[in-house]
A = this chain, B = another copy of it.
Amino acid sequence: MTQVNRQILLASRPQGTVTPDNFKLIETPLSSLVDGQVRIRNHYLSLDPYMRGRMSDAKSYAAPQPLNEVMIGATVGEVVESRHAQFAIGDKVVGMLGWQEFGTSDGDGLRKVDDSLIPLSAYLGAVGMPGVTAWYGLNTIIAPKAGETVVVSAASGAVGSVVGQLAKRAGCRAVGIAGGLEKCRYVVESLGFDACIDYKAGNLSQDLKAAAPDGVDGYFENVGGEVLDVTLAQMNAFGRIAVCGMIAGYDGQPLPLKHPAMFLTQRLLVRGFIVSEHMDVWPEALKQLGTLVAQKDLRFRESIVQGLEYAPEAFIGLLAGQNFGKQLVRLI
């Protein structure tokens, strides 16, 4: 009996907002492996904001996701068949196998992981790309000193939650920005941030002044849009802004900066980065993050939908900030 693989393809490029009909679910029979190949049953698919960038064909750092091919995406799963010397049935692996239930790989970009102390799904979050993103932007660009104030937007998310917890460990005041009281409560009570601002309350500027009374030394930008503009206005001299995400900018709206002269008057440093271009830091970052998670010193939250067919809806929700914690799709 031939097994069937379910896959989601990019059917069309979004005009502005992403819609469900930009995606297409298909069923494909699995072909037999050839020598050097390994087959993985994916357990979890990671949904991440960068995917929005790949869906469009605007000038960007990465080639656009091709139309009518399986959507790009990070996965964790288990080897179910192997004709590859380095992988055996039962191995747990992280890879970029995309929006599908089964992945077939020549082993390139596949990494075996140990799920005895760290839950498998964490390799897509705090001990994966989002965690390393937080680690890199905070340590390399913001480079916080004890006593400074670090602000992070999308604070309850996969990246933001790690940024704030690492900033606290560096002796900083950690201030989160998140959407809604429930997320803010989680950010302060469970993650241990010093304060969290609900941007939906509509008093972002005043609330930030209250939460960061000594001004902002480091800002980890996950969102873009108005949040960036308001935070920019409260940056201290020699403040650093790590630009990691600009969800609010992906749809193409202009961003009105009310205080552009702050770049100069406060001698700000702003740097955008893509964590996959800094592979040299991954081993050290993953080691530190893995240790913290295994010791339960780094907390994280997941938002899981069950079933590949719900991936588009969950992704659209992620772009609208509806997820709470790392957005995953459970595929088994």
Which residues of A are interface residues toward B (Cβ below 8 A)? 53, 58-61, 224-225, 228, 237, 243-246, 249-250, 254-274, 277
**Closest B residue to A273 using CB positions:** B267
Please give, as numbers and ranges, the residues of chain B lying within 8 Å of A255 by CB-CB distance: 256-257, 260
Least CB distance from A230 to B in Å reads: 12
Supposing A53-B265, A59-B265, A61-B265 touch, asked if A260 and B270 sit within 8 A by C-beta, the answer is no
Of all A-B residue pairs in the complex, the 6 with the closest CB atoms, nearest first, are A255-B260, A249-B261, A270-B270, A264-B272, A60-B265, A263-B272
Task: Contact check, A277 vs B270: say whether CB atoms are below 8 A apart.
Answer: no
Task: Contact check, B277 vs A272: say whether CB atoms are below 8 A apart.
Answer: no
Task: Contact check, A243 vs B264: say whether CB atoms are below 8 A apart.
Answer: yes
In the bound assembly, the distance between CA atoms of A224 and B53 in angstroms comes to 27
Supposing A266-B61, A268-B272 touch, asked if A250 and B245 sit within 8 A by C-beta, the answer is no
Residue of A53, A263, A266, A268 with most chain B CB atoms under a 10 A cut-off: A263
Task: Contact check, B250 vs A261: say whether CB atoms are below 8 A apart.
Answer: yes
Task: Contact check, B249 vs A260: say whether CB atoms are below 8 A apart.
Answer: yes
Copies of this chain present in the complex amount to 2
Task: Contact check, A270 vs B269: say whether CB atoms are below 8 A apart.
Answer: yes
In the bound assembly, the distance between CA atoms of A273 and B258 in angstroms comes to 20
Supposing A243-B264, A254-B258, A264-B245 touch, asked if A237 and B269 sit within 8 A by C-beta, the answer is no
Task: Contact check, B277 vs A267: say whether CB atoms are below 8 A apart.
Answer: yes
Could you name 15 residue pairs across A and B whose Cβ atoms are closer than 8 Å? A59-B265, A61-B237, A228-B260, A243-B263, A246-B261, A246-B263, A249-B259, A250-B261, A254-B257, A257-B257, A263-B272, A264-B272, A266-B272, A267-B271, A267-B272
In the bound assembly, the distance between CA atoms of A260 and B270 in angstroms comes to 12
Please give, as numbers and ranges, the residues of chain B lying within 8 Å of A277 by CB-CB distance: 267
**Closest B residue to A255 using CB positions:** B260
- Known contacts A249-B261, A254-B259; 11 further A-B pairs (Cβ under 8 A): A61-B267, A225-B260, A245-B264, A254-B257, A256-B257, A257-B257, A263-B270, A263-B272, A265-B272, A269-B269, A269-B272
Residue of A58, A268, A271 with most chain B CB atoms under a 10 A cut-off: A271
User: Which of these, B245, B259, B262, B270, contacts A268 with CB under 8 Å?
Assistant: B270
Residue of A245, A249, A268 with most chain B CB atoms under a 10 A cut-off: A249
In the bound assembly, the distance between CA atoms of A266 and B224 in angstroms comes to 15
Please give, as numbers and ranges, the residues of chain B lying within 8 Å of A262 by CB-CB distance: 272
**Closest B residue to A274 using CB positions:** B267
In the bound assembly, the distance between CA atoms of A273 and B238 in angstroms comes to 9
Least CB distance from A250 to B in Å reads: 6
**Closest B residue to A58 using CB positions:** B265
User: Which of these, B58, B264, B270, contacts A246 with CB under 8 Å?
Assistant: B264
Please give, as numbers and ranges, the residues of chain B lying within 8 Å of A256 by CB-CB distance: 254-257
In the bound assembly, the distance between CA atoms of A269 and B259 in angstroms comes to 18
